[in-house]
Every structure is written in structure tokens, then in C-alpha cells.
Structure 1
Amino acid sequence: MKVIALIIAALAPAIALLSYFYLRNEYESNILLQVLRTFIIGALLVFPIMVLQYALEAEGVLRSEWLHAFLGAAGLEEFFKWFLLFFTIYKFVSFHSRYEGIVYGASISLGFASAENVIYLMATGIDYAIGRALLSVSSHALFGVVMGYYIGCAQIASTKVKKVIWMIFSLIVPLVLHGLYDLILLTVHKNVIVIIVPFMFFLWWFALSRSKKANEKMA
């Protein structure tokens, strides 16, 4: 029973956030099965990334907090999420709107966050569930929303140049945001709450503003 309670506590925040972003889609499109598949892909992505992160640590590549934040964490995680979204969704699924990109981005990120959360809580205990829901799971969702917004813009863009520019944004912007998030947690040892809370408010504002814009009809 204790293990079941822990798994529920680990998965509940991601399911709630994914439901929220899925239901905000104002266009008539039934993409639930594809969203669930993307969620599973994100969850499975945890294991190869953990192996790569361990290898980088063991080889002494991540010698500074900056490298750890922008390469070991944000670089690997955001690149592989972006890579899989590109080759499993972008190239094979026609979007009805930019917002569908947001749903897929949130889905793969929350799949990743769910699996990561289960592993973390099994190692540390359920006492950390609320903190991880508010910070780790939420931040992954927001990085995914930002990535998905730009991917949605890329697919609907009218020229190849615009498509390339939007795809570059879809990788770089969430990677930078993720790197800054991890850098704050790695380098600020006193009163970290004073910095991370405003940063989370900024992430929510930025992601929700992209979400609102994505639901607007394009001229």
C-alpha cells in the first residue's frame, strides 16, 4: 500500500497538469491516443538520459555548476525531448493549430517528469512529493509548453526559413529556461526560495502567455 500511495503521489501532479493543458485546446481535435503515446515516450526517455548523465559525471565532464545545469541536465533532457517530438510527432502528425504543439510538448515533458518523480520519491520518500510537484514537475510541464508552442509555430509556418527559425527557438528557449532553473538550485544555497519562487512565477506567466497566443486564430 505504501508503494501504491507513493506512485500515486508521484503521478498525480503530472496527470493533473496534462489534463489542464489538454482541456485548454479550443480547437476540435481528437488527439488523446497520440498524447498518451507521447507521454509514454517521455517516461521511457528517463532511463537513457540517466545513463548518459551518470557517464558524464563519471568521466568528470560536469566540472562546474554551469556545465551541470546547461549540459548535464537541461542540454540532455531538452534535446532528447525535442528530438523525439520532431521525429515522432512533427514529421508525421498534421496539427490543427499551434496549440496542439503545446499539448504534445507538455505530454512528453510530463511523461519524463512522472518517471523521474517515481524514481526520486522511491529513493527519498513521500515527504518530498509536494515540493517536487510545485517545482520539478511543474517546471518540466512549462518547459514542454514553451517547446511545443514553437514546434506548433514551425509546423504551421508558411516558409521553410520560418520553419527552421521556429524549430531553433523550440530547442533553445526551453533549454535556456531549464538551465537557469537548475543553475539557481545548484548555486543559491541560502534563501533559494527568494529566487526560485519569482522564477517559477515568470515561467508560469511565459508559458501561459504562449498558451493563450497559440489558441488565437492566425491571420
Structure 2
Amino acid sequence: MSVFSVLAAAIAPGVALLAYFYLKDRYDTEPVHLVMKVFFFGVLLVFPVMVLQRAFVHGLGDNPFVFSFIISAGVEEFLKWFLIYFVIYKHTSFDEPYDGIVYAVAGSLGFATLENVFYALLNSASISSLLFRALLPVSGHAMFGVIMGYHLGKAKFNPGLTRRHLALSLMLPIFWHGVFDYVLATTKTYWIWFMIPLMAFLWVRSLRKVNRANATSPLRVVRSEEQVKI
């Protein structure tokens, strides 16, 4: 395959998933330039993550549990959470619960996309291997982003539960990301029997959170009133 074909195949899954979740916003779609800004920041996160993970591997070793839950999931999800919280959480465009999902997914998929590009270029990846990565690592990052964004939305629009949901917005993505990595690290020959149910569960769970976030949008009431007036 040509370099262009490899790059297109590596980038396409992240862009497609971002478009899918962006268009799931029923009431007030976010500014495209802001979503792409967060996506680009997610791309840039790959570099500090690589440095930090290398340092942690030297310090903590490569025990599968430690690597999966701390070095991989812990570092990646914390930096993604840090990005969304300090760049977007207090932004005026974050004006309904579902927006948390849009921006967290954008940051996660920016990260996953560059990670996928590096994998494709460094491993001379085939279309089949890139399809595998689209269905697992890239899709997985999107699911972790949905979980993070859902709880960030709950934190912002439920003042009495802010601390609880801020904690969940970080800890749950780390947990599920860690489970994902641990399965791949410890089940070399029969991983598919664990991974397919796990991914199905994460997709079903994420789509439910998408519907719940949309259902609690304050703009839903406004749109309903406008339709009644018309």
C-alpha cells in the first residue's frame, strides 16, 4: 500500500467515530472549530504520554496489571481528563450534558488517531490489521471518552453531585481502559472470547449514556416550547 493509503486507513476510523458522536447531539451541535481544537490537543497528548509511560516502565517495570491500569490507562486517561477539564469544562459552549461526551470523545479520538498512525507507519500495517485496530483500540478510546464525558456533564449540571461525578469521570475510564489492556496483555491466544463481550458491553453502555445525556439537556425543554409555539 502507498503511504497515502495507509494514512487514510489509519485516520478514517477516528474521524468517522467523532462524526458519529458529534451528530448524536440532538439539540445544539457544538462549534466545529472547537471540537477540532480539542481533537488536535488530543493528538498532541500522544507525545507527553510516550515520555511519561517510558519513564514509568523504567521505574515500575512491566507487570501486566501495573502496566495496564497505571502506566497505560492511568497516564492516558488522566491526561485526557486534564485536557477536557481545564480547556472545556468551564467554557461557555459546554452548555448541556451531552457536550461533555462530544468533547471527551474528540480528545480521546485525537489521541487514538495519532497512535493509530504511528502504528500503521512503524509496522507497515495491512488493511486487515488497521481494521482490527479500528474495531478495538480506536473504538475503545471512543468508549472511554463517552464514559468520561457523560460524568463530566453530570458534574457540571448537577451541582450537588459535582465532586462525585468528577471522580467518576476519571476513575471509570481508567478502570475500563485498564480492563481492556489487561485482557489483551494476559490472554494471548483466546483474547477474542473476552474482548467481544467486553466491547459489546461498552458500546451498549455508551449508547445508553448518549441517550441519557441528551434526555437531560436543558435545551430539550426550550426546543419543545418553541415547537408548541410554532
Give the letter for the 2:7 counterpart.
Answer: I
Determine if the alignment matches structure 1 residue 5 to structure 2 residue 34.
no
TM-score (norm 1): 0.95
1:1-219 aligned within 5 A: 2-59=2-59, 61-127=60-126, 128-159=129-160, 162-217=161-216
What is the Cα deviation at residue 218 of structure 1? Answer: 5.5
Unaligned runs of 5+ in 1: none
CA RMSD in angstroms, aligned pairs only: 1.4
Tell me the CA shift for residue 103 of structure 1: 0.3
- Aligned residue identity for 1:34: L
Q: Which runs of 5+ in 2 are unaligned?
A: 219-230
What CA deviation, in whole Å up to 9, does each residue of 1:98-128 have, x standing for no partner?
1110000100000000000000111112312
Q: How many residues align?
A: 216
Aligned amino acid, residue 136 of structure 1: P
Distance, in Å, in 2 between the alignment partners of 1:191 and 1:18 is 30
The answer for the alignment partner of 2:222 in structure 1 is none
Q: What is the TM-score when the length of structure 2 is the normalising length?
A: 0.90
* Native 8 Å contact 2:97 2:217 kept in 1: no
User: In structure 2, how many angstroms separate the alpha carbons of the residues matched to 1:203 and 1:156?
Assistant: 24
Does the 8 Å CA contact 2:98/2:217 hold for their aligned counterparts? no
Provide the C-alpha distance between the structure 2 equivalents of 1:151 and 1:19, rounded to a whole number of angstroms: 20
Structure 1 residues 9-37: Cα deviation after superposition (integer angstroms, max 9, x where no partner): 11100000000000010012442111100
Cα 1:94/1:156, change in 2 over 3 Å: farther
CA separation of 1:27 and 1:96: change in aligned 2, threshold 3 A = farther
Contact kept, 8 Å, 1:79 with 1:171, in 2: the verdict is yes
Superposition deviation, residue 164 in structure 1 = 1.0
Asked which structure has the greater CA Rg, the reply is 2
Please state how far the C-alpha of 1:56 moved relative to its aligned partner: 1.7
Letter in 1 for 2:23: L
- The Cα offsets for residues 148-178 of structure 1, whole Å up to 9 and x where unpaired, read as 010011111133xx11111001001111000
Structure 2 CA distance for aligned equivalents of residues 49 and 11 of structure 1: 19
Query: Partners of 2:17 and 2:217 in 1: how far apart?
Result: 26
Alpha-carbon shift at residue 94 of structure 1 (Å): 4.4
Match of 2:123, as an amino acid? T
Q: Is the 8 A contact 1:27 1:96 kept in 2?
A: no
